[in-house]
Structure 1
Amino acid sequence: MFANTEIRELATKLELTILAVKIEKSEKQLRAKELKAISLDELSVQEVFEKRLDLEEIENSEFKEQLSQTFNEVVSNLHEEPKSEQV
């Protein structure tokens, strides 16, 4: 049995949500079709946030849109190069 399979089974039993499990290359090739998994490094930060946000039961669409907009602003600010101070 693969270690990742054991981890997934234990998480299911304990009702845990796994954000990511690093899959060995050979296991990934053998079970890619079965797992239908997407690696986090294949997604942008915004895509990960949106996928996670979709799992939440937020009925207010305006609030959900505001969350997305605020998140995108924060990410954008983090990616900006620091402005050099002029003397």
Structure 2
Amino acid sequence: MADAAWNGDWRAAEAHVRVAGEDWDERWSRAELLQEVAREDDAWLETWRAAEPGNCDAATSTPGSWFSGPGRSGAAASPARSPETG
């Protein structure tokens, strides 16, 4: 998924979050991963946000867009170590 995003395919990132459905913990985990991917290169994220300006998943995938409060580490898996990035 990370490679697809870095190659400009924001739809792969959108699907990565969407398939979590209403499992909110999983959605947050996936948004955290996307934040890490965007820290490397966010061109795909900017394209996604422009294409779907009202998409909350795109907004929460923006690095620094939300506070990791008590009980959340704020540290997502590194894209290089995550099985989701391939």
> Would you call these one fold, judging by a TM-score over 0.5?
no
Higher relative contact order (CA 8 A, sep 6+): 2
More helix as a share of residues: 1
Mark the structure with the bigger radius of gyration. Answer: 1
TM superposition score normalised by structure 1: 0.31
TM superposition score normalised by structure 2: 0.31
